[in-house]
Copies of this chain bind each other. A is one copy, B any other.
Amino acid sequence: MVKTIRKAVQRGARTPDGLAVAEGPNLVREALRSGVRIEAILATPRAAELLDAGLSVPDLSVQWIDESLMNQISAVENNQGVLALLDIGESPLSGALAGSAALTVALDGIQDPGNAGAIVRSAEAFGASGVVFLKGSVSPWNPKTLRASAGSLLRIPFALVGWDDFLSGVTARGLSLVSADPHAARRIDEISLSGPTAILIGNEGRGVPGDHAKSAIPVRIPTQGVESLNAALAAGILLYEARRQRS
């Protein structure tokens, strides 16, 4: 099991059984709260107090391992003494686009799991219906994505699809597709984001691929001086603006 987990952590993916690695007490606590299926919990002796204090875990499911073994598995420099294997399934695309006032964020080539997780966290915070990981983006099951989402990935529906399926779904459901573009003529507060909307967030360096951008309405976050904003910040501001317009 340790080998399997280590490989998943190193590859930034799920285990061959489809389980996601959630590391650290905060994330394990969120998993217990959220009701996702927990396949196993691995903990070191120093996590005993923590488990006793804050986490209500059926004893049987905790497997005790020693520090050196945990260090071999852990994705972080100082392991946090506990990790869990979670069964977090993706939603169908319809689940991430649902609702009469749908608000969806689509990651289109985001590579950094920290950015991806932060975007999912903002999506939940601003009441988005769901998140779409378009093919070519970092995995939602990358342990670093999960950790950066601070548990939001356990609660908000997310789908994994290719571009063509995504565009068909968005079109069929009548969502406006907008794409942040520093050179766009219209500012994000000059267009309506109150109707069903999908927000496209492109790769950290290259932005949204040109042939995808053609299908979207370009909108500009009003900035000056800097070349661009960080992808997670751009997503957070677009989501905030959509929420503001709807309130």
- Interface set of A (CB-CB < 8 Å, partner B): 118, 121-122, 124-127, 150, 152, 155, 187, 189, 221-227, 229-230, 232-233, 236-237, 240-241, 243-244, 247
Contacts and interface: CB of A to CB of B under 8 A. Distances in A.
19 contacts: A118-B230, A122-B229, A122-B233, A124-B224, A125-B225, A126-B223, A126-B224, A150-B226, A152-B225, A155-B225, A189-B244, A189-B247, A221-B240, A222-B240, A222-B243, A233-B233, A236-B236, A236-B237, A237-B237
Closest 9 CB pairs of A and B: A125-B223, A125-B226, A233-B236, A124-B225, A237-B240, A189-B244, A127-B224, A124-B226, A121-B226
A227 B29 CA distance: 14
Contact of A222 (B118, B221, B230, B244): B244
A229 B189 contact: no
Given A124-B226, A155-B225, A225-B152, A118 B233 contact: yes
Interface-centre pick from A121, A127, A240 (highest chain B CB count, 10 A):
A240
Nearest to A238: B240
A124 B230 CA distance: 13
A54 to B, nearest CB: 15
A226 B227 CA distance: 30
A232 B121 CA distance: 13
A1 to B, nearest CB: 29
Nearest to A151: B226
Contacts of A124: 224-226
A189 to B, nearest CB: 5
Given A121-B230, A126-B224, A240-B241, 5 more contacts: A118-B233, A124-B226, A125-B223, A222-B247, A236-B236
Nearest to A121: B226
